[in-house]
């Protein structure tokens, strides 16, 4: 009520001040206009009488002069006329005026003295009088002056009346404005605020709707955004608390984002955390004239963002968005997430040549095929290696700048793009804990020996205190590679490398996905029938079929897409009853298409799908539907839920999260997973149908077995796989990695200790 009163009072005072300022200017202008009009009429009358009066003054014809002044003395607002000689003595004055004038006005003397017309306002008998004096000229000299007198009191009366009218108008305007303000405040401000407050009250009491009608006006946008964030945070905190309570009661230990945040705060304590990756968590692009922040689809963002939020950390990444430079400060920093900033994103800028050589060249034409045993020859160029070294130095320097003056820092380096960064950081800051997680496989020692710069890469990696892989066999391969290539001591009992007095631990950390949990307050959700969803998807694809197989991959030679198609072909050959019944949908996102091997693969996949379709398809059915474009996770989810069988046939993969995404999505506990034994996921999801992707006969048999599997067995297998993915989720991966890193004891040389203390 008090703020409403202040608002109304402020409006009333403001309107009043503005009205009176304009009124003052209007009255002043009107008063000046009336004075100018009076002066002009007096001047015109004087000039019209000058030729008649001047000769009579020169002749001293007083009687004739008196007759003239009497004749012109009765005009509107004309008080009279007076004629004076050159000495200022009155020769003729209008009757009545002579009694009021004791002496000639000063304007008469001034006109005679300066030989020019003069005008003035002066009081006479409590009235305002205006006089205009005009010198009269004879044949050779000034012979006298003519004075025109006007009553000017009407100017003050008119001004007073104008002020009175203005005051009344202002009072009416203030009253109208106050009434309108009351209505506006009630309808447009008080009402929306009251509704928002009521919704927040219901939210606090746990009775609020999920989609409130918040004020959408521009004025309330900041409030609506903050209220939305507050509500989301409150809901998440409430759901996390309820989940924690439920788990405590059940004796389970499910990792959640909230648990991860608490765990990180406990483990890192006062340490500052820095993450280095090629991909950034937020990319800024142009959406028309506005800038939009896009979150790339990435399990890495899902895992690491809760950690960085918990400790207000810094994420260092390549600024690849078209509008990235427009959103950062002079040092390339900005706070994220945009709607609720909790940590810092530091962007590193790369030239086209650097990106081409370091990322597409050495990383993806060299290290990627080298580490994946998929029978694609790696390409190593000196220029690519030089760019790789240059970019690694650039990222290391950015990290060192961000860590300047910070004690107890911890660094998480992500993936094969930055093998040299750990050593570059450790050389300058041995007091910093450094971990690197290698997201792709590590091949056997002989295979890795193909790389001309294997010693430099290994030396860079061993600058870290902790090196992580997905599975134990990759750790073993790494240790064997180091043992054969570098002078070091392998401590097999601790799975560590001792090189020049620095100990590097090597550990498996199987990465996973964020297992979706239904919101506790919404209760059980009615499940959509996979049969209905499948029929709708087939209709959208223009295919009539009963059973759906699914593959979701980037179009990459390591994913075994061609082998998968050949398995489908062999399945239809051996069991023709499934022709017209089974359709395999391959969602294939184009990837690195300007690298020749990937460009060629794209054409090969399309040609193979066309060949098999040409062989088997009918007018309303075809065995393979190849969806060759990028799909969001939201677009893929319906396919996960509807598929009878999901094929993950990677020829070699570090983990492969598609398998875990499929399992986590199947809350109906149906569907079957066919999984390559060359994936890291095959070590955990043993209830999938494990196959050799190179064996088309085995693939075909696995598809048949999946479609004809007993429903109870299918459900039991899916339940066991879902329990594994749920308990070993992405948050557990991040928490375990942080735990291992935080518990490493650093052996810092005394000289370094004295420098950092």
Cβ-contact 486, 458 below 8 angstroms? yes
Q: 619 burial class (0-12, 13-18, 19+ CB within 10 angstroms)?
A: exposed
| Last-in-domain residue among 230, 250, 270 | 250
Which of 702, 711, 375 is CA-nearest to residue 568? 702
Residue 267's pLDDT band, with cuts at 50, 70 and 90, is confident
Token output for 697? 């006969």
Per-residue exposure over 521-554, b if at least 16 CB sit within 10 Å of its own CB, e if not: eeeeeeeeebeebbbebbeeeebbbbbbbbbbbb
Strands 90-93 and 78-85: antiparallel
The pLDDT assigned to 755 comes to 47
Instruction: Name the average pLDDT for the chain.
Output: 86
CA–CA distance, 736 with 745 (Å, rounded to integer):
16
Report CA-CA distances (Å) from 686 to 476, 660, 661, 677: 21, 12, 15, 10
pLDDT 10s digits, 625-647: 999 988 888 899 999 999 999 99
With tokens 């380096």, the residue in question is 413
With tokens 């607002």, the residue in question is 77
Of the listed ranges 28-32, 241-245, 713-717, the one predicted with least confidence: 241-245
pLDDT 10s digits, 639-684: 999 999 999 999 999 999 999 999 999 999 999 999 999 999 999 9
Most confident of 187-201, 203-217, 353-367, 526-540: 353-367
Residue 562 phi, psi dihedral angles, 5° rounding = -65, -45
Q: Report the chain's C-alpha Rg in angstroms.
A: 46
CA–CA distance, 661 with 514 (Å, rounded to integer):
9
pLDDT 10s digits, 515-529: 887 644 344 444 556
Does residue 289 fall inside a structural domain? Answer: no
Decide: helix, strand or coil at residue 728: coil
The pLDDT assigned to 229 comes to 65
Helices 2-59, 62-71: inter-axial angle, 10-degree rounding? 150
Token output for 527? 């499940």
Decide: helix, strand or coil at residue 207: coil
- DSSP letter at 745 equals P
Does residue 65 fall inside a structural domain? Answer: yes
Which of 35, 49, 36, 64 is CA-nearest to residue 135? 49
Does residue 276 fall inside a structural domain? Answer: no
Most confident of 47-56, 239-248, 573-582: 573-582
pLDDT 10s digits, 374-412: 889 999 999 999 999 999 999 999 999 999 999 889 999
The pLDDT assigned to 288 comes to 76
Residue 495 phi, psi dihedral angles, 5° rounding = 50, 65
CA–CA distance, 384 with 364 (Å, rounded to integer):
10
Token output for 278? 């090629």
| Domain shared by 104 and 19, yes or no | yes
Of the listed ranges 249-263, 479-493, 494-508, 573-587, the one predicted with least confidence: 249-263
| Domain shared by 545 and 601, yes or no | yes
The residue with greater pLDDT, 102 or 735, is 735
Mean pLDDT, to the nearest integer, of 597-621? 94
The pLDDT assigned to 250 comes to 47
- pLDDT of 34 > 70? The answer is yes
Token output for 569? 């072909």
Which of 279, 438, 425 is CA-nearest to residue 348? 279
Token output for 709? 């599997």
Which of 500, 509, 450, 503 is CA-nearest to residue 475? 509
Most confident of 18-22, 23-27, 483-487: 483-487
Domain that holds residue 502: 352-508
* CA–CA–CA angle 537, 543, 548 (5° rounding): 60
| Domain shared by 568 and 463, yes or no | no
The residue with greater pLDDT, 157 or 749, is 157
What is the C-alpha end-to-end distance of the chain, expressed in Å?
Answer: 58
Decide: helix, strand or coil at residue 707: helix
Residue 203 phi, psi dihedral angles, 5° rounding = -60, -45
Cβ-contact 469, 438 below 8 angstroms? yes
Q: 404 burial class (0-12, 13-18, 19+ CB within 10 angstroms)?
A: exposed
> 213 Cβ partners below 8 Å, 6+ apart?
195
- pLDDT of 720 > 90? The answer is yes
Decide: helix, strand or coil at residue 623: coil
| Domain shared by 360 and 486, yes or no | yes
Does residue 212 fall inside a structural domain? Answer: no
Residue 286's pLDDT band, with cuts at 50, 70 and 90, is confident
Alpha helices, DSSP H only, in 126-189?
153-184
| Domain shared by 93 and 137, yes or no | yes
Residue 123's pLDDT band, with cuts at 50, 70 and 90, is confident
| Domain shared by 487 and 537, yes or no | no
The pLDDT assigned to 221 comes to 61
The residue with greater pLDDT, 578 or 67, is 578
| Domain shared by 621 and 501, yes or no | no
Percent of the chain beyond pLDDT 70? 86
- pLDDT of 297 > 80? The answer is no
CA–CA distance, 515 with 660 (Å, rounded to integer):
9
Which of 533, 523, 374, 538 is CA-nearest to residue 441? 374
Q: How far is C-alpha 457 from the chain's CA centre?
A: 37
CA–CA distance, 51 with 643 (Å, rounded to integer):
115
| CATH label of the domain that carries residue 148 | 3.30.450.20
Per-residue exposure over 281-301, b if at least 16 CB sit within 10 Å of its own CB, e if not: bbbbeeeeeebebeeeeebbb
Cβ-contact 278, 395 below 8 angstroms? no
Residue 242's pLDDT band, with cuts at 50, 70 and 90, is low
| CATH label of the domain that carries residue 559 | 3.40.50.2000
- pLDDT of 47 > 90? The answer is no
Of the listed ranges 334-338, 355-359, 662-666, the one predicted with least confidence: 334-338
Residue 148's pLDDT band, with cuts at 50, 70 and 90, is confident
- pLDDT of 420 > 80? The answer is yes
The pLDDT assigned to 354 comes to 96
Residue 694 phi, psi dihedral angles, 5° rounding = -80, -15
| Last-in-domain residue among 471, 491, 508 | 508
| Domain shared by 240 and 385, yes or no | no
Beta bridge partners of 469: 508
Of the listed ranges 26-30, 296-300, 457-461, 637-641, the one predicted with least confidence: 296-300
Helices 561-574, 596-616: inter-axial angle, 10-degree rounding? 10
Does residue 738 fall inside a structural domain? Answer: no
The pLDDT assigned to 521 comes to 38
* CA–CA–CA angle 729, 730, 734 (5° rounding): 125
Residue 212's pLDDT band, with cuts at 50, 70 and 90, is low
Residue 453's pLDDT band, with cuts at 50, 70 and 90, is very high
CA–CA distance, 311 with 268 (Å, rounded to integer):
8
> 577 Cβ partners below 8 Å, 6+ apart?
none
Does residue 186 fall inside a structural domain? Answer: no
Alpha helices, DSSP H only, in 60-129?
62-71, 97-100, 106-114
Strands (E) across 453-555 are located at 466-469, 489-491, 496-499, 502-508, 547-554
The pLDDT assigned to 520 comes to 40
| Domain shared by 578 and 494, yes or no | no
The pLDDT assigned to 306 comes to 79
Helix (H) or strand (E) holding 267: helix 257-268
Cβ-contact 191, 32 below 8 angstroms? no
CA–CA distance, 124 with 147 (Å, rounded to integer):
15
> 732 Cβ partners below 8 Å, 6+ apart?
255, 512
Mean pLDDT, to the nearest integer, of 109-137? 86
- DSSP letter at 358 equals I
- pLDDT of 208 > 60? The answer is no
CA–CA distance, 37 with 757 (Å, rounded to integer):
89
Does residue 746 fall inside a structural domain? Answer: no
The pLDDT assigned to 625 comes to 97
pLDDT 10s digits, 153-180: 888 888 888 888 888 887 887 788 778 7
| Domain shared by 65 and 141, yes or no | yes
Return the number of other C-beta atoms located less than 10 Å from residue 60's C-beta: 12
Decide: helix, strand or coil at residue 414: strand
Does residue 392 fall inside a structural domain? Answer: yes
| Last-in-domain residue among 474, 508, 542 | 508
Mean pLDDT, to the nearest integer, of 566-572? 97
| Domain shared by 485 and 537, yes or no | no
Of the listed ranges 216-225, 240-249, 313-322, 445-454, the one predicted with least confidence: 240-249
Residue 694's pLDDT band, with cuts at 50, 70 and 90, is very high
With tokens 């193909």, the residue in question is 450
Which of 356, 376, 346 is CA-nearest to residue 443? 376
Percent of the chain beyond pLDDT 90? 50
Cβ-contact 42, 151 below 8 angstroms? no
CA–CA distance, 242 with 259 (Å, rounded to integer):
12
The pLDDT assigned to 51 comes to 81
Q: 430 burial class (0-12, 13-18, 19+ CB within 10 angstroms)?
A: buried
Token output for 129? 């009088």
| Domain shared by 69 and 138, yes or no | yes
Cβ-contact 374, 557 below 8 angstroms? yes
- The total of structural domains in the chain comes to 4
Mean pLDDT, to the nearest integer, of 294-305? 74
């Amino acid at each position: 009520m008090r703020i409403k009163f202040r608002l109304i009072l402020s409006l009333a005072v403001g309107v009043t001040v503005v009205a009176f300022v304009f009124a003052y200017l209007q009255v002043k202008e009107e008063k000046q206009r009336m004075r100018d009009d009076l002066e002009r009429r007096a001047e015109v009358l004087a000039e019209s009488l000058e030729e008649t009066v001047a000769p009579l003054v020169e002749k001293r014809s007083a009687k004739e002069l008196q007759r003239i002044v009497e004749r012109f003395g009765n005009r509107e607002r004309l008080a009279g006329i007076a004629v004076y000689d050159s000495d200022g003595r009155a020769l003729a004055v209008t009757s009545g005026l002579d009694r009021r004038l004791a002496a000639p006005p000063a304007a008469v003397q001034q006109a005679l003295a300066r030989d020019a017309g003069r005008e003035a306002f002066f009081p006479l008998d409590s009235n305002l009088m205006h006089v205009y004096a005009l010198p009269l000229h004879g044949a050779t000299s000034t012979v006298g002056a003519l004075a025109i007198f006007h009553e000017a009191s009407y100017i003050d009366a008119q001004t007073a009346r104008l002020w009175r009218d203005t005051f009344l108008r202002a009072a009416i305007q203030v009253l109208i404005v106050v009434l309108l303000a009351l209505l506006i405040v009630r309808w447009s401000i008080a009402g929306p605020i009251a509704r928002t407050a009521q919704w927040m009250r219901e939210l606090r009491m746990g009775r609020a709707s999920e989609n409130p009608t918040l004020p959408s006006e521009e004025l309330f946008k900041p409030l609506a955004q903050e209220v939305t964030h507050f509500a989301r945070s409150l809901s998440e905190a409430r759901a996390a608390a309820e989940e924690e309570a439920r788990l405590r009661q059940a004796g389970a230990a499910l990792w959640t984002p909230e648990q991860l945040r608490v765990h990180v705060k406990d483990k890192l304590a006062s340490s500052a955390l820095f993450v280095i990756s090629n991909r950034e968590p937020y990319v800024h692009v142009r959406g028309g004239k506005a800038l939009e922040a896009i979150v790339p689809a990435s399990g890495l963002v899902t895992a690491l963002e809760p950690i960085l939020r918990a400790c207000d950390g810094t994420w260092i990444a390549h600024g690849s968005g078209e509008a990235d430079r427009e959103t950062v400060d002079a040092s390339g920093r900005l706070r994220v997430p945009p709607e609720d900033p909790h940590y810092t994103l530091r962007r590193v800028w790369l030239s086209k040549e650097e990106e081409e050589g370091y990322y597409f060249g050495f990383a993806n034409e060299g290290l990627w095929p080298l580490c994946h045993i998929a029978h694609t020859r790696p390409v190593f160029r000196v220029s690519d290696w030089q760019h790789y070294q240059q970019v690694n130095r650039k990222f290391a320097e950015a990290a060192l700048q961000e860590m300047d003056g910070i004690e107890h820092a911890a660094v998480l380096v992500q993936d094969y793009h930055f093998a040299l960064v750990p050593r570059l950081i450790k050389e300058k800051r041995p007091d910093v804990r450094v971990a690197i997680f290698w997201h792709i496989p590590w091949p056997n020692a002989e295979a890795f020996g193909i790389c001309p710069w294997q010693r430099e890469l290994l030396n860079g990696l061993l600058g870290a205190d902790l090196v992580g892989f997905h599975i134990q066999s990759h750790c073993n391969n790494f240790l064997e590679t180091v043992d054969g290539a570098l002078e070091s001591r392998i401590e097999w009992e601790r799975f560590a490398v001792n090189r020049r007095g620095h100990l590097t631990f090597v550990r498996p950390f199987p990465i996973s996905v964020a297992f979706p949990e239904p919101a506790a307050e919404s209760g059980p959700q009615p499940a959509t029938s996979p049969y209905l969803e499948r029929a709708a998807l087939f209709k959208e694809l223009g295919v009539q079929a009963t059973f759906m197989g699914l593959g979701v991959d980037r179009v990459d030679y390591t994913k075994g897409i061609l082998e998968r198609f050949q398995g489908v072909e062999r399945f239809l050959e051996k069991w023709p009853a499934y022709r017209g019944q089974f359709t395999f949908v391959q969602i294939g996102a184009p990837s690195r298409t300007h690298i020749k091997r990937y460009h060629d693969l794209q054409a090969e996949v399309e040609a193979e799908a066309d060949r098999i379709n040409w062989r088997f398809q009918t007018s309303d059915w075809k065995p393979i539907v190849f969806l060759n474009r990028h799909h969001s996770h939201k677009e893929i989810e319906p396919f996960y839920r509807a598929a009878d069988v999901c094929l993950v046939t990677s020829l070699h993969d570090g983990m492969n999260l598609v398998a875990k995404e499929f399992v986590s999505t199947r809350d109906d506990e149906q569907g079957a997973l066919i999984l390559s034994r060359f994936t890291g996921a095959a070590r955990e999801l043993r209830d999938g149908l494990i196959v050799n992707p190179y064996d088309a006969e085995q693939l075909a048999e696995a598809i048949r077995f999946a479609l004809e599997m007993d429903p109870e067995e299918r459900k039991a297998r899916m339940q066991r796989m879902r329990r594994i993915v749920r308990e070993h989720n992405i948050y557990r991966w991040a928490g375990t990695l942080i735990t291992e890193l935080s518990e490493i004891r650093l052996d810092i040389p005394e000289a370094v200790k004295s420098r950092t203390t």
